[in-house]
Amino acid sequence: MSDSIRVVIVDDHSIFRSGLRADLDETVEVVGEAADVPSAIATIREKMPDVVLLDVHLPGGAGADATGGESVIRGSAPTTARFLALSVSDAAEDVVRVIRAGARGYITKGSSGVEVSKAVHAVAGGDAVFSPRLAGFVLDAFGAVAGETAAVDDELDRLSAREQEVMRLIARGYAYKEVAAELFISIKTVETHVSAVLRKLQLSSRHELTVWASERRLL
Amino acid sequence: MSSSAQHPLVPLARPPRAVPPPRPELTRARECLISGTAEGLARHLGVSTGLVRAMFIALTVLSGAGVLLYVWCWVFTPWEPGKSAPSRKAPVAWVLLAVGALLELIMLQQLGTGYMLGVYLPDLGVDGSMPMLLDLGILLLGPVVLLVGAALWADLIDRIDPTRGPRQAGVVRGIAVVLLVVMVVAMVARPTGPVLLLAPFAGLLAMFASSLMHRWRELSGERVRRIREEQRSEMAAHLHDSVLQTLALIQNRAGASSEAARLARAQERELRAWLYDGDAPADSDLPTDLRDYAGALELDYPVHIDVVSAGLSTERASGELAAAAREAMLNAARHAGGEVSVYIEGSTSGVDVFIRDRGAGFDLDEVPGDRLGVRQSIIGRMRRAGGSGTVRSDENGTEVHLRIAGAPLRSEDA
């Protein structure tokens, strides 16, 4: 592995792939591209990238209600690659489904190349990427707004008080660094909290997750 | 025919006015006895409804001319404009049903006896089986037509009447079917011509056909809705895959605050609203209102506003909180630009709104006293509304925090 991050872009629009490829900064190396689910799985097997930039909606997904992005993550299951979901204006339902399938976060396609590169670095380092919208959604879905707080940290269906604080600041548009400064904790601790929230989002069986997701749109 | 042409011909009871006021249009009243025809005609002619009804009845005696005129007027007169379903005072279906049942009783009693309505037919010089069959047939048709008429009236006309509805239709139809079946059974039990059995069967068929027509109408309506929905989602999928992607790419390539990116973003927002929120009711709650306002600001200023909301907000878009939030967003767009985050959190205890920008920041104490924006429109306004407004600013940007408590808001609403 070299010092630059190896990335595979999976999107069914060639114009978007080439645009993104041109925009990513030099610390990110694009080693492959794919346009549908089977070719994406094959490319990920072959190139073994660090990060996969994955469109939520892809052709060739298995099953009628699968979004495609989900199928790619499940299809390339034993892999070291980490997934970052890309979306244009998808229903929260679809984004949450891809995250629950294993993506480490999501960013919008309107994000600039610098933002995408930053997110790629974060995901490659094992961190989660939360947009303000996703943070707002999480606060809503885990009942934090209604005042529900986890009594113990490993409770899956609720957020701890600290996690709520972090999510609230992210929803207000704070970067991790600013969250850390605001709460007088280290950036590493912020990242730990965010990863914990992501884990809860992936593992929780809270029924509101799907209800909220189908009623609302993240974008 | 104009009214002036009638004057020399028809002497009116009242003295003719010099300038007759314009007649009300010939329309059928929605609050009516049977069909609204007589009411409408009376209103148009300026005479009493009773007189028009009497005229129809009188004309009916002249070999049925009144009935024909009535039906003719009924068919060609539109309902008066309005949205409410017409409501009829007369229980037409029940009257038809009652008369039909009565006639059937008489008929069944005299079936095969040679009597018709209490008159012994051979007395009238009617004999032989053929003419008797014919007469019996006419006697049979009476109750059948009335019963079928009752069922059809209840099913097709009274169904949309809010005071009667489908329940009455079901009852009337049920009774009509039972009466027809009784008629068939009685006719089979007694010696009558098999041809006569056709009449009640035809009646049953007609009733059945009317309910079939209902189903068919429902079915075709359902099909049209489904096709429309399919087309819409197909179109949404296509636009999502092509136009929205391109718009995202344009924003991406043109740079966050360039003119092209702003236009693309506005277009994207509009398209997305059309694609996904088309069916949702346009409720003007706080998040929706601030989102719309953010869209408008993005068109006017080089700014990218991200509105996130969590929780359910009872706050109205017209409230003081919304006004203060709009002012803060305008300030952020005007003075800071770039990326602005708006976060709305509504809980049972109150509503919080955060507006954060990445501008150079300012010192609230150094703002001259004659500048009213922040002090009056935001902080002062929130204080007057019973909430609070705080502004925190440093070199990394400015954050305005607006808060209003839930409890006093509710008592104000009550």
DSSP string, B354-411: EEEE-S----GGGS-TT--IIIIIIIIHHHHTT-EEEEEEETTEEEEEEEEEHHHHHH
Max Cα distance, chain A (Å): 49
Q: Where are the CATH 1.10.10.10 domain residues in chain A?
A: 132-215
Pairing of strands B338-347, B350-357: antiparallel
Listed residue (B102, B115, B105) closest to B183, CA to CA:
B105
At residue B252, does pLDDT exceed 50?
Answer: yes
The architecture CATH gives domain A5-124: 3-Layer(aba) Sandwich (3.40)
Window 134-173 of B: residues touching A by CB (8 A cutoff) are none
Q: Which residues contact B21 (CB under 8 A, 6 or more apart)?
A: none
Give the residue from B253, B308, B348, B398 with the most A CB atoms within 10 Å of its CB, the best one to mutate.
Answer: B308
The architecture CATH gives domain B281-413: 2-Layer Sandwich (3.30)
Q: What is the average per-residue pLDDT within B6-13? A: 53
Query: Computed from CA positions of residues B151, B157, B162, B163, in that sequence, does the dihedral angle turn out positive or negative?
Result: negative
Pairing of strands B397-405, B350-357: antiparallel
Q: Which tens digits make up the pLDDT trace of B124-160?
A: 555 545 455 556 666 777 888 888 888 888 877 777 7
- Dig out the tokens for B242 from the structure: 């092509």
- Asked if B272 and A89 come within 8 Å (Cβ–Cβ), the reply is yes
More confident residue, B406 or B130: B406
**Over chain B, what is the mean pLDDT?**
76
Torsion of CA B140, B142, B147, B149, to 10 degrees: 140
Q: Give me the amino acid identity at A173.
A: G
At residue B122, does pLDDT exceed 60?
Answer: no
A174 to chain B nearest CA, in Å?
9
Give the residue from A10, A90, A109 with the most B CB atoms within 10 Å of its CB, the best one to mutate.
Answer: A109
Shortest CA distance from B245: residue in chain A: A88
Chain A residues touching residue B310 (CB < 8 angstroms): 136-137, 139-140, 144-145, 171
**Cβ proximity of B107 and B99 under 8 Å:** no
Listed residue (A122, A117, A141, A100) closest to A187, CA to CA:
A122
Give the residue from A139, A145, A165 with the most B CB atoms within 10 Å of its CB, the best one to mutate.
Answer: A145
Lowest mean pLDDT among B196-205, B291-300, B405-414: B405-414
Q: What is the average per-residue pLDDT within B241-263? A: 78
Q: Where are the CATH 3.40.50.2300 domain residues in chain A?
A: 5-124
Residue B272 near chain A (CB below 8 Å): yes
Any idea what the Cα angle at residue B331 is, between residues B330 and B334, rounded to 5°? 85
More confident residue, A43 or A89: A43
Number of A–B residue contacts, CB under 8 Å: 94
- Dig out the tokens for B247 from the structure: 């718009």
Q: Which fold has domain A132-215?
A: Arc Repressor Mutant, subunit A (1.10.10)
CA distance linking residue A150 with residue B247, whole number of Å: 41
At residue A13, does pLDDT exceed 60?
Answer: yes
Give the residue from A11, A20, A57, A88 with the most B CB atoms within 10 Å of its CB, the best one to mutate.
Answer: A88
Residue B346 near chain A (CB below 8 Å): yes
At residue B414, does pLDDT exceed 50?
Answer: no
Q: Which long-range contacts (CB under 8 A, 24 or more apart) does B79-82 make?
A: B79/B27, B79/B28, B79/B30, B79/B36, B80/B25, B80/B27, B80/B28, B80/B29, B80/B30, B80/B36, B80/B40, B81/B27, B82/B30
Question: What backbone phi and psi angles, to 5 degrees, belong to B31?
Answer: -100, 100
Q: Which residue has the tokens 């030099």?
A: A26
- Asked if A145 and B345 come within 8 Å (Cβ–Cβ), the reply is yes
Q: Give me the amino acid identity at A41.
A: I
CA distances from B92 to B69, B221, B358 (A): 19, 29, 74
**Over chain A, what is the mean pLDDT?**
78
Chain B residues touching residue A139 (CB < 8 angstroms): 310-311, 345
- Asked if B308 and A171 come within 8 Å (Cβ–Cβ), the reply is yes
Q: What percent of chain A has pLDDT over 90?
A: 0
- Asked if B249 and A112 come within 8 Å (Cβ–Cβ), the reply is no
A109 to chain B nearest CA, in Å?
6
- The confidence band for B9, taking pLDDT boundaries of 50, 70 and 90, is low
B349 to chain A nearest CA, in Å?
9
CA distance linking residue B137 with residue B131, whole number of Å: 10
Shortest CA distance from B307: residue in chain A: A133
Residue B313 near chain A (CB below 8 Å): no
- Asked if A147 and B347 come within 8 Å (Cβ–Cβ), the reply is yes
Facing residue for B245 by CB, picked from A13, A217, A219: A13
CA distance linking residue B325 with residue B382, whole number of Å: 10
